[in-house]
């Protein structure tokens, strides 16, 4: 059975007054407002907010990893000695020393030649996605992304009127043959891609595919929008494996984005976009009216945090924390999820599961929430044409937020509920 | 001579590589990107960034007014004791205790009955403007605003494809007769209005006009989008004078926005929107893909700052600082700008000047910048149909950023240059 859906459909959520109520916008709102795509992840996040839940739903960093001591000391120092700058209006493009720091950082990641004028600071990578989408998408434009892919991106693209088509994800990254079949037929505006430990599929794109992708973008003339949220959260292999696609770009076809939400803290809202100068200028002009500039205080905090070596110093420990959690989750999955398949993630925050045939993971959500466990049913990550029955048995589980003990406890419970559900279908 | 211009045209700026270069976007960008409206104010801000200039250009708070000591102590306390919350992802609508605080604050301002579900936190009022514009504007829609009016708003509206028409500003607020002539002919989507010490005109809208405006909006069925950035910066008169238009709204036709950029610090990027629940839900959905949520850290900072009484405590002193500067600027204007007219602002950050006939204030900008004085030529504040010759002799001067001594010094120099320019024209 084939299904087309651009909507993150989600059943089984508690019906709060503001969640999932069909918006009946009167004439006075824009057409845009009447076709807005609400975020399924944000809805689950809202449903469990303030409740005692073991959550595998959002890609939230574990709070205990936040560098509280360093940020406390830095914030006090910055506000005391440079408050006039940290509290004042800043430039739209970003805090210049931070632009220089990020250029240097990217060089270390294998992306050479990035200069401050190639960079723009965004208030988190969701804003980076929105700003890039605004300068690229006209209503009706074809936009490609991995399927399953990140709903924050699909939502932003759909809100601007894009036509979305999904590229299936294999164990070594997106299926470039499927991509080529599409781009041969119709030139897309861009391909949004998450090569490092993709959200939600968790896979790492091979270096060979990265090179091939850039060649295709140059040959068929489309943009690559590369979202590298998880490149630093790597558990095994070599740093060469996570060198961004942008490193292979010699013609200016890659717009690269990088966030500090997973490696420092999401509450600061600092991300960066690296792009050709003309693109950066357009992004700057969009940002002028989008929010004028990103908080000077949080930008200076991030800059000092990196410049003083705290960023580099904390990465090994951070990787160890998430590797242990991945291992704990895999162990629990083996124990409690018979007949379920996955590719072991070598980094990032997520397991992507294919549960046994005929499983309906949406039907699992309500009883799971009732039992105090949250997760994301997989179907809201699919875009364009996809197999609804296949999608219905997928699940995204984040191991990032919970302790190893809670991972074991939550998955034991979730496995019990899932097996009961499958049993009920087959019984 | 009548002229139509939707572009903030500005001559006489130093031609940096990224400023005022005509953007030649290739096909691959969106049409939106090719029609972007660059901000004249941001361009002047960029031109003088890092240079020693007496600036009357931007509406920047005086850095010495920032509550550095209180924010330093609060930031350290919050990061130390509640870092897990302040550094983590937050809800899209905003930090709930801050929503409650703002509801209570608005009640004190005369806007009764606002509940947390009516509120959304934005990353500064520029984002508030953009989010509201996105849920209201379809390309081609008629949008009204004061003329002269705030370019950050006109830019956002034009970027979404609005047709703008300007409502002339009188000494007691917008000309409601002119407004009625337009709305009788064609229903606008909304009227964006700045009743308290308008930017740039500096005038205060009369209470009678506020009531009348709401009646008109109800009768002719358009939204009022009220931007109240300067209501707390009041020098004389009664608090009843600055009660928002929203207080007179009993049918849900007013979308109200309030920022802490002028009263606490712009570097924190915290503003709020108050609107009917359905409107707030739409805004929340737009914000999900725009930037997901506003920094938890800066929201908690603002909330604690208000809850602990620092906000209320600092307003009297803040008003005194800006009143003294207004007085210093008026004194210098009387001395150095013969033949120039203005309405004395009773609050806010700006003087709006009409210089003698045949003055071209744009021609004044380059020599002024060269002499180390910045200001905003008035023509970039006009929207829709306006008299270009009249606009050419207007100027916006912010007295907010500079000390009284520098106000005197800068205006003496600017007056000298202006008089020489007029002399050259008439000589």
Q: What is the ipTM, given to two decimal places?
A: 0.91
Nearest to A75 by CA among A312, A292, A271, A303: A303
User: Taking 80 as the threshold, does the pLDDT of residue B257 lie above it?
Assistant: yes
CB neighbour list of residue A384: distance below 8 Å, 6 or more residues apart: A4, A6, A147, A164, A165, A166
Interval B74-119: pLDDT, tens? 999 999 999 999 999 999 999 999 999 999 999 999 999 999 999 9
C-alpha dihedral sign at B86, A154, B39, B386: negative
A22, two tokens? 């069909």
Nearest to B378 by CA among B424, B423, B332, B342: B342
Which residue in the set B18, B85, B291 is minimally distant from A123, CB to CB? B291
Alpha-carbon distance values, A59 to A55, A137, A159, A161, B300 (Å):
10, 27, 22, 26, 22
Per domain, the residue ranges of chain B are: 2-66+314-426, 82-310
A-chain residues near B293 (CB < 8 A):
269
* pLDDT at position A24: 33
Q: Nearest-CA residue of chain B relative to A29?
A: B136
**Does the structural domain B82-310 have CATH classification 3.30.460.10?**
no
Which residue has 């508690």 as its token pair? A14
CA A90 to chain centre: 27
CB neighbour list of residue B198: distance below 8 Å, 6 or more residues apart: B146, B149, B169, B173, B204, B205, B348
CA angle B78, B299, B325 (to 5 degrees): 105
User: Taking 90 as the threshold, does the pLDDT of residue B31 lie above it?
Assistant: no
Q: Tell me the residue ranges of DSSP E strands in A132-184.
A: 142-147, 163-170, 173-174
B127/A284 touch (CB, cutoff 8 Å), yes or no? no
For B338-351, give the DSSP string.
Answer: TT-B-PPPSBSSEE
A-chain residues near B36 (CB < 8 A):
282, 285-286
Q: Is B238 on the interface with A (CB under 8 A)?
A: no
A323, two tokens? 């590797």
Residue A36, min C-alpha distance to chain B (Å): 7
CA angle A276, A280, A281 (to 5 degrees): 120
Contact A176, A213 (CB under 8 A): yes
In our burial notation (b when 16+ CB lie closer than 10 A, e otherwise), range A78-102 reads bbbebbebbbbbbbbbbbbebbebb
* pLDDT at position B14: 41
C-alpha dihedral sign at A71, A77, A79, A82: negative
The Cα–Cα gap between A126 and A155 comes to 10
Contact B362, B377 (CB under 8 A): yes
Q: Tell me the residue ranges of DSSP E strands in B24-131.
A: 54-55, 119-122
Alpha-carbon distance values, A36 to B232, B234, B288 (Å):
35, 39, 10
Residue A163, min C-alpha distance to chain B (Å): 14
The Cα–Cα gap between B332 and B415 comes to 9
**Does the structural domain A69-310 have CATH classification 3.40.640.10?**
yes
Q: Calculate the CA dihedral of residues B210, B211, B212, B217 and round it to 10 degrees.
A: 90
B33/A266 touch (CB, cutoff 8 Å), yes or no? no
CA A108 to chain centre: 22
CB neighbour list of residue B102: distance below 8 Å, 6 or more residues apart: B114, B119, B258, B272, B274
Interval B345-392: pLDDT, tens? 999 999 999 999 889 999 999 999 999 999 999 999 999 999 999 999
Q: Tell me the residue ranges of DSSP E strands in B152-305.
A: 163-170, 173-174, 190-193, 223-228, 254-259, 271-274
B-chain residues near A117 (CB < 8 A):
17-18
The Cα–Cα gap between B307 and B405 comes to 35
* pLDDT at position B30: 84
* pLDDT at position A425: 58
How does DSSP classify residue A106?
A: H
3-state secondary structure of B417: helix
Contact B282, B290 (CB under 8 A): no
As beta bridge partners, residue A190 has A143, A223
Neighbouring C-alpha atoms within 13 Å toward the C-beta of B250: 4
Residues 141-160 of B with CB under 8 A from A: 141, 152, 155-156, 159
CB neighbour list of residue A61: distance below 8 Å, 6 or more residues apart: A261, A262, A265, A266, A400, A401, B88
* pLDDT at position B3: 39
CA A135 to chain centre: 20
B290/A288 touch (CB, cutoff 8 Å), yes or no? no
CA B288 to chain centre: 24
Cis check: omega of the bond before B200, within 30 degrees of 0? yes
pLDDT grade for B424, boundaries at 50, 70 and 90: low
A291/B126 touch (CB, cutoff 8 Å), yes or no? yes
Cis check: omega of the bond before B13, within 30 degrees of 0? no
A-chain residues near B130 (CB < 8 A):
289-291
B295/A123 touch (CB, cutoff 8 Å), yes or no? yes
Residue A48, min C-alpha distance to chain B (Å): 11
A87/B267 touch (CB, cutoff 8 Å), yes or no? yes
The Cα–Cα gap between B244 and B111 comes to 7
* pLDDT at position A28: 82
A76/B71 touch (CB, cutoff 8 Å), yes or no? no
The Cα–Cα gap between A155 and A132 comes to 13
B136/A28 touch (CB, cutoff 8 Å), yes or no? yes
The Cα–Cα gap between A131 and A75 comes to 28
User: Taking 70 as the threshold, does the pLDDT of residue B247 lie above it?
Assistant: yes
B297/A298 touch (CB, cutoff 8 Å), yes or no? yes
Residue A74, min C-alpha distance to chain B (Å): 9
CA angle A82, B227, B331 (to 5 degrees): 65
For B311-330, give the DSSP string.
Answer: HHHHHHHHHHHHHHHHHHHH
* pLDDT at position B28: 81
* pLDDT at position B412: 97
Which residue has 């997520």 as its token pair? A350
User: Taking 70 as the threshold, does the pLDDT of residue B25 lie above it?
Assistant: no
What's the whole-model pTM score?
A: 0.92
Q: Tell me the residue ranges of DSSP E strands in B29-122.
A: 54-55, 119-122
Q: Nearest-CA residue of chain B relative to A46?
A: B91
Interval B56-80: pLDDT, tens? 998 899 999 999 999 999 999 999 9
Q: Nearest-CA residue of chain A relative to B224?
A: A28
B-chain residues near A64 (CB < 8 A):
84
Q: Nearest-CA residue of chain A relative to B280?
A: A18
Interval A65-84: pLDDT, tens? 999 999 999 999 999 999 99
B-chain residues near A31 (CB < 8 A):
138
Q: Is B267 on the interface with A (CB under 8 A)?
A: yes
Which residue in the set A124, A284, A288 is minimally distant from B155, CB to CB? A288
User: What value does the mean pLDDT of chain B take?
Assistant: 91
C-alpha dihedral sign at A145, A234, B92, B66: negative
* pLDDT at position A31: 80
Strands B271-274 and B119-122: antiparallel
The Cα–Cα gap between A329 and A351 comes to 8
Q: Tell me the residue ranges of DSSP E strands in A270-402.
A: 271-274, 350-354, 373-374, 376-377, 385-387, 394-398
* pLDDT at position A36: 80
Task: Determine the angle formed by the axes of helices A176-185 and A207-220, rounding to 10 degrees.
Answer: 0
B71/A61 touch (CB, cutoff 8 Å), yes or no? no
Taking the domain A2-66+319-426, which CATH number applies? Answer: 3.90.1150.10
DSSP run (H or E) holding B103? helix B96-108
Q: Is B7 on the interface with A (CB under 8 A)?
A: no
Interval B150-180: pLDDT, tens? 999 999 999 999 999 999 999 999 999 999 9
Taking the domain B2-66+314-426, which CATH number applies? Answer: 3.90.1150.10
Q: How many CB pairs under 8 A join A and B?
A: 275
Lowest mean pLDDT among A175-189, B15-29, B125-139, B192-206: B15-29
B31/A126 touch (CB, cutoff 8 Å), yes or no? no
* pLDDT at position A22: 33
Exposed/middle/buried for residue A9 (C-beta within 10 Å: 0-12, 13-18, 19+): middle
Q: What percent of chain B has pLDDT over 90?
A: 83
* pLDDT at position B13: 43
Choose from B34, B50, B79, B150 for mutation: most chain A CBs within 10 A. Answer: B79
Residues of chain A with pLDDT under 50: 1-10, 12-27
A37/B76 touch (CB, cutoff 8 Å), yes or no? no
Q: Is B134 on the interface with A (CB under 8 A)?
A: yes
A29/B90 touch (CB, cutoff 8 Å), yes or no? no
In our burial notation (b when 16+ CB lie closer than 10 A, e otherwise), range B132-164 reads bbbbbbeeebbbbbbbbbbbbbbbbbbbbebbb
A291/B124 touch (CB, cutoff 8 Å), yes or no? yes
User: What value does the mean pLDDT of chain A take?
Assistant: 91
3-state secondary structure of A271: strand
B135/A266 touch (CB, cutoff 8 Å), yes or no? no
Residues 75-104 of B with CB under 8 A from A: 75-76, 79-80, 83-92
The Cα–Cα gap between A83 and B68 comes to 6
A64/B76 touch (CB, cutoff 8 Å), yes or no? no
The Cα–Cα gap between A191 and A210 comes to 13
Residues 176-235 of B with CB under 8 A from A: 189, 221, 223
Q: Nearest-CA residue of chain A relative to B294?
A: A269
């Amino acid at each position: 059975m084939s299904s087309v859906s651009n909507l993150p459909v989600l059943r089984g959520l508690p019906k709060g007054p503001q969640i999932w109520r069909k918006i009946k916008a009167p004439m006075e709102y824009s057409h845009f407002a009447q076709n807005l795509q609400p975020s399924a992840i944000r809805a689950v996040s809202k449903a469990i907010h303030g409740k005692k839940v073991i959550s595998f739903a959002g890609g939230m960093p574990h709070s205990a990893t936040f560098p509280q001591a360093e940020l406390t000391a830095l914030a006090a120092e910055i506000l005391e000695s440079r408050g006039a700058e940290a509290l004042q209006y800043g430039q739209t493009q970003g805090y210049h020393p931070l632009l220089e720091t990020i250029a240097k950082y990217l060089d270390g990641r294998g992306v050479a030649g990035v200069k401050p004028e190639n960079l723009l600071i965004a208030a988190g990578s969701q804003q980076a996605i929105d700003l890039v989408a605004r300068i690229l998408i006209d209503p009706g434009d074809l936009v490609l992304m991995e399927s399953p892919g990140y709903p924050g991106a699909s939502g932003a693209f759909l809100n601007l009127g894009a036509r979305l088509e999904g590229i299936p994800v294999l164990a070594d990254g997106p299926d470039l043959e499927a991509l080529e079949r599409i781009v041969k037929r119709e030139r897309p505006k861009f391909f949004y891609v998450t090569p490092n430990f993709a959200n939600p599929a968790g896979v790492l794109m091979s270096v060979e595919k990265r090179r091939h992708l850039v060649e295709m973008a140059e040959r068929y003339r489309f943009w690559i929008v590369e979202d590298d949220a998880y490149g630093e959260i790597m558990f095994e292999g070599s740093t060469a494996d996570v060198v961004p696609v942008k490193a292979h770009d010699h013609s200016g076809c890659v717009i690269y984005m990088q966030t500090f939400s997973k490696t420092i803290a999401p509450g600061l809202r600092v991300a960066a976009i690296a792009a050709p100068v003309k693109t950066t200028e357009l992004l700057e002009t969009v940002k002028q009216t989008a929010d004028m500039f990103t908080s000077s205080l949080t930008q200076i905090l991030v800059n000092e945090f990196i410049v003083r070596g705290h960023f580099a110093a904390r990465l090994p420990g951070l990787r160890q924390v998430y590797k242990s959690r991945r291992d704990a989750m895999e162990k629990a999955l083996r124990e409690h999820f018979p007949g379920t398949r996955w590719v072991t993630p070598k980094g990032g925050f997520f397991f992507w599961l294919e549960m046994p045939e005929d499983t309906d993971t949406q039907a699992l959500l309500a009883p799971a929430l009732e039992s105090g466990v949250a997760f994301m049913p997989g179907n809201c990550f699919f875009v364009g044409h996809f197999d609804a029955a296949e999608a219905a048995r997928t699940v995204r589980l984040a191991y990032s937020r919970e302790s190893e003990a809670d991972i074991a406890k939550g998955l034991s419970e979730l496995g019990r509920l899932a097996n009961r559900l499958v049993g009920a279908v087959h019984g």
